[in-house]
Structure 1
Amino acid sequence: MLLAGALCAATLSLGACSGQEDESKNGRGAPQVGFVVVQVEPVPVTTSLGGRTVAFETSEVRPQVNGLIRRRLFTEGGFVRAGQPLYQIDASLYQAAVEQAAANLASARASAQAADERVRRFAPLAKMQAIAEQDYTDALAEARVARAAVAQNNAALETARITLRYATITAPISGRIGRSLATPGALVSASQASPLTTIQRIDPIYVDMQQSSAELTTLRQAIASGGISQGGAAVRLRLEDGSAYGFAGTVEFSEMTVNEATGTVTLRARFPNPNGLLLPGMFVTAMFDQAIDPTAILVPQPAVQRDFDGSAFVYLASKDNKAVRRKIATSRTVGGSWIVTDGLRAGDRVITQGVGNLRDGADVRPVPASSPQRVGAPATDKATEKAK
């Protein structure tokens, strides 16, 4: 029995050695790593800027005549339309002025009619030289003066009617109206400094963003040199609570001057606001593709490692299945990837899985990163099973 046991142990040992040699020959001893093949592709240069919402239109409602407010005709905080009556000022004096102007106009018209009739009678007499020529000339002048008086009184009547209309204060624009700063019984004047109320139109609504003039200059120079191309004008918003706004906006314009105090340029975007979710003065974050980099190389973030000096590097899988350490330069992140500006070429196989224990020049067994990683028992166990 001792001899049989020794023979069995020797057989198992030989089988295990044979299995290890076969596995070494097949390259299964090298660690399996996942790789991606990098390519040159266009990538948007996304800009994220803080901003504040601004009403599309704002109107301060002010009186244009003097008088006591009799009634307030709107609900505070409600929606009003352009031309809707808001306040009624006591119109007694202005109504009387209209009636007086109308009477003056009637008197002027009567005088003009009499002057015209006098001219009509003098005309044939002047031809027969039955009256002095000067009398006829004076009659013509009086008729012209009478017609001018009619025009003057007609203008005065129109002015009185306009002033009477101003006694009813109407909404100059459509929008959401604020609280009233004057109550019935208050005396208002056309020269007062404070408004009666304010109306704001918030659909659509503006978002004013601030961008560093240095960043804007760098971007414009890159576009001018052809390194990147102009991006789209679509803008997305992130609200104060971190949620995304449901509507996209468009960039309307950028200021032509730089704020000397902050060194920034104001960009304005326009957004639809049908539900009134955005209110003037809210802080938001605007994100938009300000340009497009047509020659970008993206590398998944797990593949990028850092040296002690902070420089970035990756491992490549060479054609002879060796791990090659390569220093790279990165600019920024896009989603879950780094944009690599130097160190890689299209077609390089960048190792993204199994990079933890890699060494430069080590043997590797590369598989596409999308392939499942092989999980098996240790090699000694497989050798034992093969020997059995």
Structure 2
Amino acid sequence: MLSRKLPIAAFTVVAFALGACSDEGKNQQAGAQTPPPQVGVVTMNEQTVPITTTLPARAVSYRYAEIRPQVSGIITDKAFKDGALVEKGDLLYQIEADAYEASLAQAKASLAKANATVPGAEANYERYKRIVNKGATEIQLTDAQTQYEQALADVESAKAAVKTAQINLDHTQITAPFGGVLGVSNVSIGNLASPTSTNSLVTLNQLDPIYVDMYESAGQVLSASGKYSDFKSETDLSKVKVTLELDDGSQYSVPGHIDVSSRTVDASTGTVNLRAIFDNPDNTLLPGMFVRATITVAEEQGYLIPQLAADIEPDGRVTARFVTSDNKVETRVFDNAMVSDNSWVVQSGISDGDRLIVDGFQRLVGGVDTVTPVPAKVNENGVVVDDKSSGNGSGGGSSGASGSSDGNG
């Protein structure tokens, strides 16, 4: 029985071995026929591109005021809703005015009394001037002159008292010093308002326009060779364009410009404060809001490489992969790359017509050195998108390349 089973088992092993060899041969033949993987490329063309820097920033009120009373009294009216928009001159609070109206009336009465004494004093003085040394002495003339001038002085004093009383009465109406957005009131009707109070009645912020504060390295701002070296005067600063990215990733639609640059360096952070100004008609930007500000500091001639189509070496150099004329993958290193939005700007090491790989990087693993380049498209946000018009199937953002669509020429 054993002698009959062994040949059958041996035959089975040989059959499996022959089948495995046949499959391996088929796989090798299929591998030899596999075409080079496709990668998405854009064609390089030199162009004028902006040089930018992106900084963390915070919105700050164009104007800010803590509304405080200038006279004491009971608040009889609160004329606004908390958080409301107000215009310059709008009534905010009314302080009880009876005592101040009475003071004004008393001051006016004192003025009328002072005015009443002037004509008599003046007539007496003129009479003594006519009869001096003819029945009147020099002393009498001097006394008459003094009384007249005292009467005139009393009038001026009474006028000042009337003006002061009027100012105090006017201050019983607390109005907005400028247009803006009110905070939450710290007092209500019936509370005592006092100039000596440590707390304000309410706060007021002007939001349109609005400031955005940024902080840049002092070395970048102040060095003679730095990218800010051409922006020394206020006129030059006003030409520097600034755009904002909001906290949710959306772009703020209204561009601004640099308004002022601090001439001092913060000793604790080593940074210089740059302040930009933006129109804010819809009050989208609010004081204290954190944003990302992109400053356009110059324009240069160069080539755009989307940032996510490139790698950063430990020494700070930028590397990117290109397809040569014989469809080989070539890695190039760039020493002095500059930033332009979501792209790197390089000025050497690239020529017009060079093909930059922006998509399909996952197909280059394992030492692949020959590829099939197909045209790709990079949108304005630096993302690789499907280009149905070119029939390119490599798009769709498999690499998520970031840069400018200008980079594809």
**Both structures adopt the same fold (TM-score exceeding 0.5):** yes
Is the CA contact (8 Å cut-off) linking 1:317 and 1:323 kept in structure 2? yes
Helix, strand or coil for the counterpart of 2:226?
A: helix
TM-score between both structures, scaled by the size of structure 2: 0.69
| Percent identical | 35
Pairing 1:110–2:116 present = yes
Q: Could you say which structure has the greater relative contact order, defined with CA pairs below 8 angstroms and 6 or more residues apart?
A: 1
Tell me what 2:210 maps to.
Answer: 205
Tell me what 1:171 maps to.
Answer: 176
Is the CA contact (8 Å cut-off) linking 1:53 and 1:281 kept in structure 2? yes
Pairing 1:296–2:310 present = no
Instruction: Give the whole-Å Cα distance in 2 for the aligned partners of 1:36 and 1:263.
Output: 40
Tell me what 1:186 maps to.
Answer: 191
Helix, strand or coil for the counterpart of 1:208?
A: strand
Tell me what 1:50 maps to.
Answer: 56
**Closer/same/farther in 2, CA of residues 317 and 115 from structure 1, 3 Å limit:** same
Tell me what 1:329 maps to.
Answer: 334
Tell me what 1:234 maps to.
Answer: 241
Tell me what 1:159 maps to.
Answer: 164
| Aligned partner letter, 2:245 | R
Helix, strand or coil for the counterpart of 2:207?
A: strand
**Can you list the C-alpha shifts for 1:54-112, whole angstroms capped at 9, x where unaligned?**
11111111011111112212222212222222212122222222122122212222222
| Structure 1 unaligned spans of 5+ | 1-28, 376-388
**Can you list the C-alpha shifts for 1:351-387, whole angstroms capped at 9, x where unaligned?**
649994775xx9x999998997999xxxxxxxxxxxx
Instruction: Give the whole-Å Cα distance in 2 for the aligned partners of 1:255 and 1:155.
Output: 44
- What are the within-5 Å matches in structure 2 for residues 240-255 of structure 1? 240-255=247-262
| Aligned partner letter, 2:277 | R
**Closer/same/farther in 2, CA of residues 63 and 259 from structure 1, 3 Å limit:** same
Is the CA contact (8 Å cut-off) linking 2:374 and 2:392 kept in structure 1? no
| Aligned partner letter, 1:291 | A
Helix, strand or coil for the counterpart of 1:221?
A: coil
**Closer/same/farther in 2, CA of residues 202 and 324 from structure 1, 3 Å limit:** closer
TM-score between both structures, scaled by the size of structure 1: 0.72
Tell me what 1:283 maps to.
Answer: 290
Instruction: Give the whole-Å Cα distance in 1 for the aligned partners of 2:376 and 2:334.
Output: 23
Tell me what 1:312 maps to.
Answer: 319
**Can you list the C-alpha shifts for 1:245-293, whole angstroms capped at 9, x where unaligned?**
221112211211121222222211111111122221111111231222x
Pairing 1:83–2:89 present = yes
| Aligned partner letter, 2:91 | P
Helix, strand or coil for the counterpart of 1:55?
A: strand
Instruction: Give the whole-Å Cα distance in 1 for the aligned partners of 2:310 and 2:153.
Output: 90
| Structure 2 unaligned spans of 5+ | 1-34, 231-235, 378-388, 394-409
Instruction: Give the whole-Å Cα distance in 1 for the aligned partners of 2:66 and 2:166.
Output: 24
Query: What count of residue pairs does the alignment treat as equivalent?
Result: 336
Instruction: Give the whole-Å Cα distance in 1 for the aligned partners of 2:355 and 2:140.
Output: 112
Largest Rg, 1 or 2:
1
Instruction: Give the whole-Å Cα distance in 2 for the aligned partners of 1:230 and 1:184.
Output: 48
